[in-house]
Structure 1
């Protein structure tokens, strides 16, 4: 694998890549609190299957440029993703794969520019419109208590104190069967050691709160893209309950779309079961995969 950087939507994005730049683009988007290292198992598999697999450090996550904005709304992330498609030379055969916040950004980008993305895979976060009733569900409100803390003054210090102890606790709570490896923790420590990163990454939640307040986050037109869409979720996910993924069945518009809930794994399912998750993704995104030929 190799590294590089590219200018997109006004920021310099650092990325890790595998495969020929002339191959169809497979853009892999990470979430919170994570880094592009989360895709270390999948990138080589995608490259071997004939893709130019690229995992950028998302907006605000060093070594990508840290913006000065105090709020990163979902529309900005949507623009980032589609600008990365252009900057990386993507064509209509490109595919999107997103985990957590990367799932939100990916779904919105695919809905906003369906001619650019042939297929979409989202992990650990179902379509936003499916989550409309989550605020009324006691179990999910308890799981999401960290979001309220992210909105408070001093949240940056709260989450990053003692060598990211509270961020590491989130990993453990969300994926109780997974132990953080040095390949996860070392990039995380290095990223959050950069001034401004904690504020920039927590600003996603401030932006999302604004989007929910005016209804933009629940609009099916921005979160239910028309492409074939694979929704993957861990049965033991401690961040978003698997029942929300199950509710996606019958909601996704394309007939080739699928929902798969995997037993024995949690929120970071692509790290907990890399072979199983990789096989499901490759089967779905390869041309001639499930559904209409070539889509």
Structure 2
């Protein structure tokens, strides 16, 4: 079997790094925060072996891809435009798009806006969220002592400084803390009389990185060389590009009024871990229960017991098998 290769392409006015492997129908894998194409390392091999041309980009602001300076260069229209641009460079009329975390939001919007180019969508962790009636930041939780982590990310400077102080330690602690293993460890600590931590809230005057951090021995799904890869990437790039995605949340709401109420009509799959902290966000349970109203082509909601936020890395075999099954069952391309 061929190995994964990387190359720089030019599309949508910037240069993007893509990792690719295999031949056949195109599958586009879109990573989340704070990751890179590398988060799909297991799925790239599995999907290529199953007969697909697999492409996983470093999103703008990440890895070896360009990182525009201006915050307004990271809107959802830019991000979906990058995905369309990749298809154009590859000469592909259509693709199945798969996303995790921020990549899931991009994948949902790509399928919503361009069903002519994205013939199916699989989303990990983040369900489809229809456009609301108010600016998203106005609805984010805040108290006298803490604020929602996305609000903390809004102000340029503090989050970059905190996360960039030791990128390797940041990634190591984030990957463990939001994993199923990390959630289990936090619950055990509370049961033993320790303080409860809310991963989604940042204390006023405090930082995003909370808790005891990752243990000396990592869980089996993660190793030190994986941390080394991510750490070196963010040591080189910093976190500004990645954080700029959050700084466009309200702007995204403002510029997508024209597509409010549209449904995701292509075939869809949703996968999440039952320990994913995103599932505890207010209203997410009702959102999942009503996904079919917004995504009539939804084939399946697959919950992975004991899995946390890093879905495709924590449960690589289960996620890869679910993706292969979903894509193989799609209608033949015309």
Give the structure 2 partner of residue 212 of structure 1.
253
Task: Map 1:84-99 to 2 at 5 A.
Answer: 84-92=86-94, 94-99=95-100
Quote the RMSD (CA, aligned, Å): 2.9
CA change 1:149–1:137 in 2 (3 A) is: closer
Give the structure 2 partner of residue 109 of structure 1.
110
Give the structure 2 partner of residue 193 of structure 1.
235
1:294 positional shift: 5.5
Deviation readout 1:178-217 (Å, 9 max, x if unpaired): 644234322221221224x411111100011322366659
Structure 1 segments (4+ residues) deviating >4 Å: 130-139, 213-218, 292-295
Unaligned runs of 5+ in 1: none
Deviation readout 1:240-273 (Å, 9 max, x if unpaired): 4373663344224434532222211011111111
Alpha-carbon distance in 2 for matches of 1:132, 1:40: 38
Worse overlay, 45-54 or 163-172: 163-172
Give the structure 1 partner of residue 196 of structure 2.
none
Give the structure 1 partner of residue 274 of structure 2.
235
Give the structure 1 partner of residue 120 of structure 2.
119
3-state SS, counterpart of residue 239 of structure 2: helix
Give the structure 2 partner of residue 182 of structure 1.
224
Give the structure 1 partner of residue 293 of structure 2.
251
1:24 positional shift: 1.4
1:137 positional shift: 8.3
CA change 1:253–1:269 in 2 (3 A) is: closer
Deviation readout 1:22-72 (Å, 9 max, x if unpaired): x21111010001111111110111111111101110111021122122231
1:138 positional shift: 6.2
Counterpart selection for 2:323 from 255, 277, 281 = 281
8 Å CA contact 2:168–2:231 kept in 1: the answer is: yes
1:171 positional shift: 2.5
TM-score under structure 2 length normalisation = 0.76
Unaligned runs of 5+ in 2: 183-218
The reply on whether 1:11 has 2:14 as its aligned counterpart is yes
CA change 1:144–1:138 in 2 (3 A) is: closer
8 Å CA contact 1:6–1:88 kept in 2: the answer is: no
3-state SS, counterpart of residue 64 of structure 2: coil
8 Å CA contact 1:143–1:240 kept in 2: the answer is: no
Task: Map 1:54-203 to 2 at 5 A.
Answer: 54-71=55-72, 72-92=74-94, 94-129=95-130, 145-154=148-157, 155-177=159-181, 179=219, 180-195=222-237, 197-203=238-244
Give the structure 1 partner of residue 188 of structure 2.
none
8 Å CA contact 1:232–1:259 kept in 2: the answer is: yes
TM-score under structure 1 length normalisation = 0.85
8 Å CA contact 2:129–2:287 kept in 1: the answer is: no
1:219 positional shift: 2.9
Give the structure 2 partner of residue 41 of structure 1.
42
8 Å CA contact 2:26–2:96 kept in 1: the answer is: yes
Alpha-carbon distance in 1 for matches of 2:327, 2:225: 26
CA change 1:131–1:98 in 2 (3 A) is: farther
Alpha-carbon distance in 2 for matches of 1:238, 1:217: 31
Aligned length, in residue pairs: 284
